[in-house]
Amino acid sequence: MKWGLVLKHLLFHPVLGLVLRVYIGGVFITASMYKINYPGEFAETIASYQLVPYWAVNVMALVMPWAELIAGALMVLGVRTKAATTVIAAMLVMFSLAILITLLRGIPIGCGCFTSVEDPLSWKTFWRDILWLIMSLHVFFFPSALQLEGRMIKSLQEVEA
Amino acid sequence: MAATRSPVKQAIEKANRAQAELDRRLFHLKALHDTACELSVLTQPRRIMETFLLTAMGLFGVSRGITAMVNVHTGAVFCVQRGLDQSEAQACEQHLCRVAQHHLTEDNLPRYPEIVQPGRPCGQGLFPSDTAVLLKQKVDGGYALLSALGPRYHRLPFADADAATLINLAATMGNVLAQNLFHREVQHLSAGLMRQASQIEDAQAQAGTARATLDRQVFHLQTLYDFTAELSPVVATDQLVETFLLTVMGTFGAAQGCVLLCNRQQRVVRFAGRGIPGSRDWSSEAAEKLLYSGFQAAESGRLAPMSAVFIRDPHSVFPPPALGFEVHSAVLFTVDETLLGIVALGELLKRETVLATEARELLLALTVNWMAFLKNARAFETIQALNADLSRTNDDLRRTIDDLTEAHHRIRILEIAKNRLKQLIQREVERAGRLRAADVILMAIIAVALALGFNHYNPHGITLAPGTVSADRAERIDVPSAHQLLSDSQAVMVDARPPELFQQRHIAGAINIPATLFDVIFPMKLAPILQPDRAVLVYGRTISKHYDDEVAQRVLQRHERVMVMEGGLEAWEKKGLAVSP
């Protein structure tokens, strides 16, 4: 019982929220860096999944890394956290589904999550994304410390008072 | 004989008695005459009454007597007595006083002396009990004269002749007393007249003095009035000083004159002079020194505010070098503790060595009056200064009000901004805690904008549309035709897919040339076997990528007969044709 309470306390602790927020945000920022610089390679990666229509591949390769960067940055800073987390969670769901489909289809391709040269796609990659998705849901539903927006609003409220 | 002698004797005796009677009458007449003569020269009532009493007592052989003169109006009693005790005399005096108040009036007094109860004792207590004869008579002037005589020697009674003589004597005394009183009254009246005449003379003298004083005061008042009327419209201190100096010099006929006015607080000295050669600038220290000399020689030790005082011996106090002329008269004045000065006049045209008292009073009055105007002028200047200050303050106030209005305007704007900010904060607070579709859309828009912008400048940038869409499409060929060409060795089959997919499954005999490695693999694998008449058949596409078109377009740059096999590997396999592995 006591351990249960401690675990519950740790699970809902804002610092844990902060750690998960920074971790997931950092992962997405890191992942976006290479893709932003080399959109052509990312487009090849997207195409290798054989899920996106060919006319949408380039657009997706251009926009998705920036969405990852913006959402990751907002998530780390704690600005519009719920919206950023929602975007990230949506992308993780999309990635997980893509990986799952690709694994089931048996297409031998690399993940392309961070760079174009990676190990071939595996179930490990899928469960990793599922774990990140759970972390994102934790960030979405539970409070986290050091949110810039919250502190700024608190300061504005103090100035207004 | 006896009978004869008896008639003769009787006749002789009768003659002797007649002779004696005549002698006695003669004696009485002589006594009356002598008394009348004696009384006529007497001037004092007391002496007259004493002479009467002594004459009567001697004439009738009486040892005691009293005469009293009573004023019937006032009751005053004046007694002269001989032979009475002191107590008897006082008792008589008191009784007579009482009787006079109640019983003696001018109406019931006889004009001529009357004997009251002759020969019988007088009333109890009024006169001594042994009074033999009592006389009462009226004396002109409101007096009653009462005379009482005691018994005669040998107890002889008062005969009629004695009574007549006594009445005559008393009448004589009454007349003399009346004359004397009248004379005294005349003298008294004369003295009163003399006194009144003297008083009238004194009153006339006083009236003359009063008239002169009045004339002088009228002159002073007229001068003061004219001076006041002249000063009334003047409000400037300098003009007041000039006007005062001219008025004073004109009034007293002075050839030279000056006014020195020193303001100790502001350390300002004003000097106005007339008939003085040259001009001189007065410093505050020099003026203070001059004023100090004046205070030392002032007639009054202490000088109250709004007062003036003459300076003793102004010739020596202010020698000619001090003020520029020989000072005849000088007045030191003090308006208040900070404003004081000196009025000095030179030689007068009348050649008087000293100003008359009236002139001194007038000069002091003019000075004091002038000081009132001076004070008013100072107050006016103060008011003007205050008005100027007030005007400046008003300007400052107006500017302040403008600033305040502007500040108020700013505050209102800031209030509006604050309210808007408040609303914004509230809105942001509401937004911060919840998920909004707008935020997601905004993030997407920003991501698209940044992506397009960055891609435009990125050297590794790509096009939005895949390159195969806009390029010229290679010729198409169906699977049986392609198989026929391969079978006839008229074509080479190229798999354009990535190596991973090629290795997974491909058409038997196909050469894998992925687009990404085209420049490397084409010269190695395809170029050596490529002949101009042989066609290059390209296949391999997914939903996401048209590898066949991409590779075909690149091969077309090097070879003319390039065709894309429609349906790709799937169509090939459906035809049951050979694949590997």
* Mean confidence (pLDDT) of chain B: 85
Residues of A in contact with B435 (CB under 8 A): 82-83, 86
Residue B137 has pLDDT above 80, yes or no: yes
Inform me whether the pLDDT recorded for B118 exceeds 90.
no
B425 close contact with A: CB closer than 8 A:
yes
C-beta atoms of A55 and B543 within 8 A = no
Chain B residues in contact with A62 (beta carbon < 8 A): 451-452, 455, 462, 464
Q: What is the pLDDT of residue B472?
A: 65
Question: What is the least distance, in Å, from the CA of B561 to any CA of chain A?
Answer: 26
- Contact criterion met (CB < 8 Å) for A149 and B432: yes
Tens digit of pLDDT for each residue in B448-465?
999 999 999 989 889 888
Q: What residues contact residue B474 under an 8 Å CB cut-off, 6+ apart?
A: B538, B549, B552, B553, B556, B562, B563, B564
Neighbours of B118 (CB within 10 A): 16
Q: CA of A16 to nearest chain B CA: how many angstroms apart?
A: 18
Distance, in Å, from the CA atom of A81 to the CA atom of B86, rounded to the nearest integer, reads: 150
When pLDDT is cut at 50, 70 and 90, the band that residue B301 belongs to is: low
Task: Check pLDDT > 80 for residue B75.
Answer: no
Ranges of each domain in chain A: 2-145
Q: Going edge to edge, which strands form the sheet with B114-116? A: B77-82, B65-71, B143-149, B133-139, B114-116
Nearest Cα of chain B lies from the Cα of A4 at a distance, in angstroms, of 28
Most confident of B386-400, B513-527, B532-546: B386-400
Confidence class of residue B93 from pLDDT cuts 50, 70 and 90?
Answer: confident
What are the residue ranges of helices labelled H in B232-327? 237-252, 284-296, 314-317, 320-323
Work out the average pLDDT over B211-228. Answer: 86
CB contact under 8 A, A83 and B451: no
| Structure confidence at residue B146 as a pLDDT band (50, 70, 90) | confident
CB atoms within 10 A of CB B386: 12
Band (B195; pLDDT cuts 50, 70, 90):
very high
Average pLDDT rounded to a whole number, residues B342-370 = 85
The identity of residue A145, as a single letter, is: A
Residues of B numbered 433-492 whose beta carbons fall under 8 angstroms of chain A's beta carbons: which are they? 433-436, 439-440, 443-444, 446-448, 450-452, 454-455, 458, 460-466, 468-469
pLDDT score at B122: 45
Q: Does B418 touch chain A (CB under 8 A)?
A: yes
Q: How confident is the model at residue A161 (pLDDT cuts 50, 70, 90)?
A: low
Q: List, as own/partner pairs, every contact residues B260-263 make where C-beta atoms lie below 8 angstroms and the sequence separation is at least 24, other chains included.
A: B260/B287, B260/B290, B260/B291, B260/B323, B260/B341, B260/B342, B260/B344, B261/B237, B261/B339, B261/B340, B261/B341, B261/B374, B262/B287, B262/B288, B262/B291, B262/B339, B262/B340, B262/B341, B263/B338, B263/B339
**CB A55 to CB B428 under 8 A?**
no
- Closest in B418, B432, B435 to A150, CB measured: B432
Beta bridge partners of A4: none
Does pLDDT of B108 surpass 90? no
Residue B460 with chain A: CB contacts under 8 Å: 37-40
pLDDT score for B119:
45
Minimal-distance CA residue of chain A relative to B504: A108
Higher-pLDDT residue of A112 and A32 is A32
**Chain A CB contacts of B434 below 8 Å:** 82
- The secondary structure of chain A in percent helix, strand, coil, rounded to multiples of 5, reads 80, 0, 20
**B95: confidence class by pLDDT, cuts 50, 70, 90:** confident
In this predicted structure, the answer to whether residue B120 has a pLDDT above a threshold of 50 is no
Q: What is the mean pLDDT of residues B383-388?
A: 91
Chain B residues in contact with A37 (beta carbon < 8 A) = 458, 460
* Contact check, Cβ <8 Å, B543/A54: yes
Q: Which two tokens stand for residue A44?
A: 């090849």
ipTM (interface predicted TM): 0.90
A6–chain B nearest CA distance, Å: 27
**Between A6 and B191, whose confidence is greater?**
B191
* pLDDT digits 0-9 by tens, B323-337: 888 888 999 999 888
Query: Residue B4: its pLDDT value, please?
Result: 56
Q: What is the DSSP string of B180-246?
A: HHHHHHHHHHHHHHHHHHHHHHHHHHHHHHHHHHHHHHHHHHHHHHHHHHHHTT---HHHHHHHHHH
Q: Which of B443, B460, B544 sits opposite A46 (nearest CB)?
A: B544
pLDDT of residue B117: 64
Spatial separation of the C-alpha atoms in residues B260 and B283, rounded to whole Å: 11
Above 60 in pLDDT, residue B275?
yes
Question: pTM of this prediction?
Answer: 0.47
The whole-angstrom distance between B507's CA and the closest CA on chain A is 17
CB-nearest partner of B455 from A39, A47, A86 = A39
**Measured distance CA(B271)–CA(B262) in Å, rounded:** 9
Contact A82 B435 (CB under 8 A): yes
Give the C-alpha separation, A108 to B459, whole Å: 30
Instruction: Please calculate the CA angle B506-B512-B515 and round it to the nearest 5 degrees.
Output: 120
Radius of gyration of chain A (CA): 18
Å from A91 to nearest chain B CA?
12
Task: Answer yes or no: is pLDDT of B123 > 70.
Answer: no
Which range (B68-77, B308-317, B491-500, B504-513) has the least confidence?
A: B68-77
pLDDT (average), residues B154-175: 83
Q: Which of residues B96 and A76 earns the better pLDDT score?
A: A76
Q: How many CB atoms lie within 10 A of CB A104?
A: 8
Mutate to test the interface with B, among A62, A121, A156 (most CBs of B within 10 A): A62
Contact B116, B136 (CB under 8 A): yes
Question: Given a cut of 90, is residue B162 above it in pLDDT?
Answer: no
At which residue do the structure tokens 């003026």 appear?
Answer: B287
Q: What is the pLDDT of residues B15-49, one digit of tens each?
A: 888 888 888 888 888 888 888 888 888 888 888 88
User: Mean pLDDT highest for which of B38-42, B181-185, B392-396?
Assistant: B392-396
The pLDDT confidence band at residue B443, using thresholds 50, 70 and 90, is: very high
What is the Cα B11 distance to its own chain's centre?
121
CA–CA min distance B418, chain A (Å): 8
Which chain A residue's Cα is nearest to B448? A63
If you average pLDDT over residues A129-157, what whole number do you get?
Answer: 84
Q: B155: part of which helix (H) or strand (E)?
A: none
For every residue of B120-144, DSSP letters joined together read SPPSTTTS-TT--EEEEEEETTTEE
* Nearest residue in chain B measured CA to CA from A144: B433
Interface contact flag, B446 A44, Cβ < 8 Å: no
Round to whole Å and give the CA distance between B30 and B55.
Answer: 11
Position B246 pLDDT exceeds 60? yes
Given pLDDT bands bounded at 50, 70 and 90, which one contains residue B517?
confident
Highest mean pLDDT among A123-137, B219-233, B522-536: A123-137
Report the distance separating Cα B310 and Cα B333, nearest Å.
Answer: 9
Q: Are B71 and B39 in contact (CB under 8 A)?
A: no
Chain A residues touching residue B467 (CB < 8 angstroms): none
Query: How large a percentage of chain A has pLDDT more than 90?
Result: 53
- Which of B448, B452, B544 is opposite residue A49, by nearest beta carbon? B544
Chain B residues with CB-CB distance to A54 below 8 A: 466, 468, 542-546
In this structure, the strands spanning B307-310 and B257-263 are unpaired
Q: Do A62 and B464 touch (CB under 8 A)?
A: yes
Inform me whether the pLDDT recorded for B441 exceeds 90: yes
